[in-house]
Structure 1
Amino acid sequence: MAELDDLFHTDQYVGPERLTDLCYKLICENLDIISIKGRRGHRILRKGITFPSEICDKIIEYAQRSEATEDDDCFFSIFKNLAATRLKHVKISNCSLTDTSVQTLVSHKLYDLELTDCSNVTEISIEHINANSENLHSLACYGTSMIIPSSLSASGSSNNYVQQLQYYGRDYQTRRYVFKTPNLKRLALAYVGIPSSEYALLLAGLMNLTHLDLSNSCNIDTFEFYHLVPNLVSLALYNVKVNTDPKSFVKNICQLKNLRHLDISQSCHKQGQFENPNKILSDLVTGLPQLVSLDIGGTNLAGRGVAERPINTNIEDTNFGQLSDIPGLASKIHKPLQFLGLYGTTHGACRRHDIPAKVVAGDANEDQILIAAHVCMDNKQELLQKVLSDLYHVFRFENCHRMDQALCTVLEAMEKHPAQKHIQISGSATLFYIVKMKEKGELVARMKKRIISTLLAGMSTHRDEETMMRNGCLALCQFRIPHDVMSNYETLVKVLLHSAKHSEPESFVQRIGIYLLNSLACQVEGKEKRLLGKLGCVKTMLELVEYRVETNIFDDVLEVAWSTMWNMTDETSINCERFLDEEGMALFLKCVQQYPHKEELLRNMMGLLGNVAEVEYLRIHLMQERYVTVFANLLRSNSDGIEVPYNAAGILAHMASDGIDAWTIEKPTRKEVLKYMVQAIESWDLNAERNINYRSFGPLLRLLDVYHTPPCQHWAAWALANLTKVYSFKYCALVVKEGGLEKLHTVIADSRPYERIKELANLVIENCCQYESHSDDVNVSHSVLDSEYLRLDG
């Protein structure tokens, strides 16, 4: 369907981002580049900077995607300098700007102004608009904004209220208009709640209007004020009750002879039920000769379908009704509508065969659903959430043929309506299936980033909604963590930490959140690890551990919480310090006492404490009899693997490396511990596979320099020998890179280390040499192959 393809432009996410987009993002994330903060926090454009409208409009657009508009009035004050800035087209949504900022914006003599869900804007802004309206062609106010006066009628109001209106120049009854915008072509005012008699006042003086949207408004009745807007080509009355006197409504609407688009769709079926629906629709369509687009979704105007076909006695008398499954549209058989909205119509009208329209919105198939979503996108939130639910079921139970269009649709819906919980829930569920079904590598980097950012925005807004958090986490699990989320690292950590702390204990949401946090703590550098600690990850993990210890619950969350702390303390001393400050050692002892045979748990805890022991100034906190006794006992652990005794030996090796004077406890003695260490090390299989990941051998190589205590060197040499033998492809190069071979040669040449240490050191050197030799052979082979190919090409 070519018409459907025209609605979506997925190619914008192919290739790298444009330089201009990157510049706008940089400016909006660092407003100090273009402005300085004045008193009271208001921003002032820097001297010497001048921006044309093309740049200013874009800055507002991109600022809303960042946190630049967090203090909205302060941000919009940048545009007070009319000599250095210029605005033309301004769209603002979900913003807390006030009338003051609206005054700043409209002082630029705007062409277009759109405000959506700007709840702090009041009717005072009307006067600011009127005072600067000479260029204004389009004005839209959607959602919860109170820009429309609560009452346009002074009747029934107190004298004091009337006096206030007169004082501020807003006695609408006296001046006989609301908007003084003579060149206005488009007006959208959703949720207008004024008496029917006051619409004449609201629309007074707007004779040039061609597009009018009064969706979700009250008291429209029969649209008797049609004569005020005679030049309309588009009229949207979504969710407006017009079935009280449909005959008069149709008569009045049909006076708009230029009307090309009419929307009378409903989300409430009660408001969409008409008597004699076939005749109402037929009269409406025949009375509007220019009509090419009609939305009757949620109504019964499409009739009952095939069963209502008239008997073909006289083709002229039946007005071709027998050729259409929608009797009221029989006159359009030979001149089909460009668009027909049938989403939610009674009797399944969108599933009929003979529909006189080129493009149909409905729920009969994937194309209709995508069209419906496009139509509902901006100001039909109730319908949009239903459409997204339909789209979700397409992915769950059927084969989706328009995955790229569906992806763009879902993302746009979630981005435009961040506060709508059900839109976010349905959208996130659909994103899970889309990302899961996409072939590996099919999603380009920019699209991945957009998906992740959109998910996180929804999760941040609805972080206490369990379904949203579950959907979001499951969708994020389809990406490479942490690689694909690095640009949103802090946001994701904050969301997951909140979920870990506030979701139901032992819930799926808590479990998956902890797994993601553990993934975020792994394979990242010190900056991100420090951020985890700064945001409270250590404290949160310990709270999860404490809950399970107190309730005597052993589950995977307990193990993963310790694993997360193990990962985030790796070569990150500040997080090790946080662990100690938060009484982590007390919980360590409790876990050892309650779960003495849980090998995975013990491994994770001992790995974490190994990181603590690597920090010289923190080892004093480990030098307590109750801790060292546990470490020594775990040296002789009879578990299946070597991870627990290996980590215990590492902790003790680092503690012993500080010398005899640093061993301040009486039991167990330093001599005993070193003896147990050597016995344990020699009992391990040098070919044992490991469940450990070293990013650096710095801590091990430092222990090779501890000549005053050879058992410390013994443990380090054994570790290097094991790792370079079993995982030569991974660790031999690391030994060479960090200067390990020089240290090993020095150990071999020194008389103080005993023979077994030197044997292990020699083994490490041999492993590294063999690996380098093999790598050279591979490189030579590749060179030969390349030469062969070059000769073949020649």
Structure 2
Amino acid sequence: MAAKAGDNPDSLMTLATVFCLRNLRKTMCYQGFRNKLCLRSDIFLPSEICDKLVNTYMELVHTDGNFEPEESFFQLFSDPRSTRLTRVQLREDFVRDRDLEAIRKQDLIELHLTYCNSLSSRSLKTLTCFRETLVSLCLFGCSHIFYRKGGAPLACNEDTDEEEDESPASRQALETDFNFQGFNRLRLLNLGGLPDEVDAETLLKPLKSLTSLDLSNVQLMGTAFLTQWKDRLASLVLYNVDLSDELVNTVVEIVNLRHLDISRESRRTSKFKMTRKILTAIVQRLVNLVSLDISGHVMLDNCTVPHFEEAMGRPSIEPCKSSIYPFQELKRPLQFLGLHDTTLCNVTHIPAYKVTGSKNEDQVLNAIEAYTEFRPELAHRAINQLFDIARIQHCSQLLRALQLVIAALKCHKYDKSIQVTGSAALFYLTNTEYRSDQSVRLRREVIQVVLNGMEQYQEVTVQRNCCLTLCNFSIPEELEFQYTRVNQLLLKILEPARQDESIQRIAVHLCNALVCQVDNHHKEAVGKMGFVKTMLNLIQKKLQDRMCDQVMEFSWSALWNITDETPDNCQMFLNCRGMSLFLECLQEFPDKQELHRNMLGLLGNVAEVKALRPQLLTPQFITVFSNLLDSKADGIEVSYNACGVLSHIMFDGPEVWSMEEPRRDTVMDKMWDAIQSWDVSSRRNINYRSFEPILRLLPQSISPVSQHWATWALYNLVSVYPSKYCPLLIKEGGISLLEKVLELESSQPETKDMASKVMEQCENFKEDPMETNHGQEVNYGQRG
């Protein structure tokens, strides 16, 4: 049997790393002075393990809502004699100056800092501690690192235990003392987003041996300085850098370039026009080029071969057949060609193995892959195009598409536009059409990033998309591994008194599904989160609006489910004015059958709790239940549930019946009449996980009508749904209890007759278990 998409297990190294990070005090560390996390003295870890620990730690911090960061985590790596780091990737505002200072004694080879806006020029000083070993450095989006935070920054060799100033660096106090003097081994440098006030030429002048340089979104005062690396530079990224003839002329002098990126975010912002002459010069002069990105540029028409002159046959990557004139001069196809947001991506023959664009699914997925890490604005547009493909057409590379969207959502947890488009794409990529191809592991990854989005953004569109995506999963089964978290998030959505109607409806539906078919432990835990009160608040609001809609009905249905066999939740319902709301709903919406069924089902659960029944034993409530015995709403369901409530109350005996009206015998007569009127072959909209509440009413003579109701209920269920309920009744010892019904003198003849039929039905089922009578299964939507 073939493995499903995304089913590869984590490596043992990854599993062990995650376990250690979740259990630091039980594995590598102990609690030191002032609760400081300290490394055990017998721990010595090589760089392969230390790098994995730090980089996985950062991933967990940003992608796992259940993971608790450690204040002094980076201090564990302060001494290279016991913990050695070489390659570290840190991102987002979570990283502070003190974290970098903690690892200043390490001989780092690679240090990638991405969007670390909490770093100030103190960290620039710390960087100099790595100057003798650093080969690769990324400061992408770390614009605050070039500014001081209040006073003068600390030197890298200063020890301090004082609390650092957490205020952001002042944009006025530019750090002027730093340069790359002494970084002799540095080969790869990314300064994307360098502030305009910093002169790139002066900053880079000491670096003689660069082979890769990224100056994305950097304003260049001049371009000639780039030629100092013309014989060494293999990769140059000038994304969103204003092109000019001078800059192009400089670039084509860097003859050893293998990767050139002169793309822009959008054609709308481009004043420079990409001509056939410029493209030809790039191809002719940069003969080692294997990767070129010219996305977002306005292309003049003379760049492409007229359609009627194009080479015949299937799309080809051979340069000689290229539909783009300048690329016909390539010696071999490019490995990568960025044509996103250009007209060139639509031509037939493109001489490249991997092309970004919007023409087809392959180009769109390539764009997401290429631009996610450093260009969320482009990744956002590409994900939007993938959304259209999944919604209107068909996604043929499902695994790759899902993995790329998941990666984008993880990488840009704090980018609202990515979260909106990503969650929308996930909704279509996880629906029924694609479900059979997805592994449990992959679907769990989707759930994780969806919950991350819900956690981070209270914005309507993100919340709606995330809730809708969760509806594509089997609930509660597929969400059980995040059961507490998902319930907390949904209840938080439902907290505001006035919420977007569509989100409210979806969230209540999900809440209802989550408490359906789960064990009592889960229900009690959710009850303690405020589930009962939240549902009653929604009901109260709907009553104020005099509106009985799906939110109202789902809320009562959710309460029915969460109170099933959970006395604590039943108590909460009564404590939170639940009975008052029941009476108000009954009076305000007398004709809403579904509503009545849900409310009476819930009260049936309350009535099963002996300690709570006295609160139902009032003239007002008994009169209401008695009147509902005559209801024909939803078949027999409302009448059946009202009779069930009264059956449990009658079971407590005549001594608890202290009221004069209505009289106990009068109510019991109405119960007999109601039961006699029901069709025993009625199909039911109910699900019993256990018969225990019904079975306790059988072997007793206190209330024959309660005994009759219980016997009727069993006969109906084992007759209509034998394959489900015959085994359940046998398993729970129901047959011996029915035999006692036959032995009791107080049992009515019709009750004994029905009890015999139940036993006969179960006996027949044991002889022929394939018999399913009507052949339809019970509705699992209610009661548990």
TM-score by length of 2: 0.87
Aligned mate of 2:557, from 563, 571, 576: 563
Q: Which moved more, 1:658-667 or 1:66-75?
A: 66-75
How far 1:17 moved relative to its partner?
Answer: 4.8
Match of 2:241 in 1: 240
Residue 371 of structure 1 corresponds to which residue in structure 2?
366
> Corresponding residue for 2:526?
532
Q: Equivalent residue for 1:350?
A: 345
In structure 2, list runs of 5 or more residues that go unmatched.
Answer: 159-172, 310-317, 773-784
Report the alpha carbon displacement of residue 377 of structure 1 after superposing the two structures with TM. 1.6
Question: Contact 1:94 / 1:116 at 8 angstroms: preserved in 2?
Answer: yes
The one of 255, 258, 264 equivalent to 1:257 is: 255
Residue 152 of structure 2 aligns with which residue? 164
Answer whether contact 1:73 1:98 (CA < 8 A) is retained: no
Give the whole-Å Cα distance in 2 for the aligned partners of 1:121 and 1:629: 70
AA in 2 matched with 1:533: G
Kept after mapping to 2: 8 A contact 1:42/1:77: no
User: Highest relative contact order (Cα 8 Å, sep 6+), 1 or 2?
Assistant: 2
- Mapped to 2, the partners of 1:85 and 1:569 lie a distance apart of 53
Give the C-alpha shift of residue 612 in structure 1.
1.2
| Per-residue deviation, 1:294 | 1.0
User: Which runs of structure 2 are paired with 1:122-133 in the superposition (5 Å)?
Assistant: 122-133=120-131
In the alignment, structure 1 residue 96 sits paired with structure 2 residue 94: yes
Structure 2 CA distance for aligned equivalents of residues 442 and 669 of structure 1: 63
For the pair 1:339 / 2:336, whether they are aligned, the reply is: yes
Q: Which residue of 1 aligns with 2:605?
A: 611
The structure 1 residue matched to 2:26, chosen from 33, 52, 57, is 33
The answer to whether residue 448 in structure 2 is matched with residue 453 in structure 1 is yes
Q: Give the equivalent residue in structure 1 for 2:108.
A: 110
Unaligned runs of 5+ in 1: 1-9, 152-160, 312-319, 779-794
In structure 2, the partner of 1:599 is 593
Distance 1:526 1:218, change over 3 A: farther
Is 2:196 the partner of 1:199? Answer: no
Whether the 8 Å CA contact 2:4–2:439 is kept in 1: the answer is no
Deviations along 1:243-293, whole A, 9 cap, x unmatched?
2xx232123323423211111110143553325733333333333232221
Equivalent residue for 1:554?
548
Pair 638,286 (structure 1): closer, same or farther in 2 beyond 3 Å: closer
TM-superposed deviation, 1:627? 1.6
How much has 1:175 moved relative to structure 2? 6.2
Give the structure 1 partner of residue 286 of structure 2: 288
Contact 1:72 1:96 in 2 (8 A): no
Report the counterpart of residue 494 of structure 2 in structure 1: 500
Bigger Cα displacement from structure 2, 18-27 vs 413-422: 18-27
Q: Select 2:684's aligned residue among 690, 711, 715.
A: 690
Give matches, 1:176-195, under 5 Å: 177-178=179-180, 180-195=182-197
Cα distance change, pair 13–397 in 1 and its aligned pair in 2 (3 A): closer
The one-letter amino acid paired with 1:182 is: N
Offset, 1:599: 1.5
CA distance in 1, matches of 2:121, 2:178: 16
Question: Residue 419 of structure 1 corresponds to which residue in structure 2?
Answer: 414
Separation in 2, partners of 1:117, 1:469: 25
Partner deviation per Cα, 1:34-53 (whole Å, 9 max, x = no partner):
34444555433456455443
Secondary structure at the counterpart of residue 147 of structure 1: helix
Q: CA, structure 1 residues 178+550, in 2 after alignment: closer, same or farther (shift >3 Å)? A: same
Secondary structure of 1:212's counterpart equals strand
Aligned residue type for 1:272: S
Q: Does 1:665 align with 2:663?
A: no
Greater displacement, 573-582 / 94-103:
94-103
Distance (whole Å) between structure 2 residues aligned to residue 711 and residue 57 of structure 1? 72
Of 400, 406, 419, which aligns to 2:401?
A: 406
**How many Å apart are 1:564 and its aligned residue?**
0.6
Q: Using the TM superposition, give the Cα deviation of residue 190 of structure 1 relative to its aligned residue in structure 2, in angstroms.
A: 2.1
Determine the structure 2 residue equivalent to 1:211: 212
In the TM superposition, residue 425 of structure 1 has moved relative to its aligned partner by 1.9
The C-alpha deviation readout for 1:87-109, integer Å capped at 9, x for no partner, is 33322333513111122245433
Measured at CA, do residues 593 and 289 of structure 1 come closer, stay the same or move farther in structure 2, by a change above 3 Å? same
CA pair 506-354 structure 1, distance change in 2 beyond 3 A:
closer
Return the offset for 1:560. Answer: 1.0
Identity %: 37
How far apart in 2 are the matches of 1:14 and 1:497?
32
- Structure-2 change in CA distance of 1:724 and 1:368 (3 Å): same
CA distance in 2, matches of 1:168, 1:51: 24
- Stretch moving more, 555-564 or 271-280: 271-280
SS at match of 2:217: coil
Secondary structure, aligned partner of 1:515? helix
Distance 1:38 1:718, change over 3 A: farther
What CA distance in whole angstroms lies between the structure 2 residues aligned with 1:59 and 1:429? Answer: 33
The corresponding residue for 1:627 is: 621
Q: Secondary structure at the match of 2:260?
A: strand
The aligned residue for residue 154 of structure 1 is none
Q: Cα distance 1:754–1:145, how it changes in 2: closer, same or farther (>3 A)?
A: farther
- Contact 1:150 / 1:193 at 8 angstroms: preserved in 2? no
User: How far apart are the structure 2 equivalents of 1:139 and 1:364?
Assistant: 35
Q: Name the SS for the 2:635 alignment partner.
A: coil
Q: Secondary structure at the match of 1:164?
A: coil
Q: Structure 1, residues 553-607: CA drift from partner, whole Å, max 9, x if none?
A: 1212111110011011111122112211211111111001111222211110011
**TM-score scaled by structure 1?**
0.86
- How many Å apart are 1:521 and its aligned residue? 1.2
- Return the offset for 1:168: 8.4
The CA deviation string for residues 34-82 of structure 1, in whole angstroms up to 9 with x for no partner, is: 3444455543345645544333333341533334764453443444465
1:707 pairs with 2:709: no
Whole-angstrom distance in 2 between the partners of 1:361 and 1:230: 29
Does the CA contact (< 8 Å) of 2:266 and 2:341 recur in 1? no
1:774 alignment counterpart = 768
AA matched with 1:434:
L
Q: Aligned pair count?
A: 742
CA deviation profile, 1:15-39 (whole Å, cap 9, x unmatched):
5555544444444444443344445
Residue of structure 1 in register with 2:133 after alignment: 135
SS in 2 for 1:142: coil
Match of 2:112, SS? strand
How far apart, in 2, do the equivalents of 1:468 and 1:531 lie? 27
Map of 1:790 onto structure 2: none
Q: Cα RMSD (Å) of the superposition?
A: 3.2
Contact map agreement 2:227 2:250 (CA 8 A) in 1:
yes
Shift of 1:187: 1.7
> Which residue of structure 2 lines up, in the alignment, with residue 785 of structure 1?
none
Report Cα offsets for 1:376-400 as digits up to 9, x if no partner. Answer: 1210111111111112222233343
In 2 relative to 1, CA 180–663 (structure 1 residues): closer, same or farther, beyond 3 Å? farther
3-state SS of paired residue (1:753):
coil
Contact 2:132 2:182 in 1 (8 A): no
Instruction: Read off the aligned partner of 1:612 and give its amino acid letter.
Output: V
SS of 2:144's partner is coil
The change in CA–CA distance for 1:298 and 1:716 in structure 2 (over 3 A counts) is same
Q: Distance in 2 between matches of 1:527 and 1:766?
A: 36
Once residues 69 and 490 of structure 1 are traced to their aligned partners in structure 2, the CA distance between those partners, rounded to angstroms, is 14
Specify the alignment match of 1:650 in structure 2: 644
Q: Distance in 2 between matches of 1:139 and 1:165?
A: 21
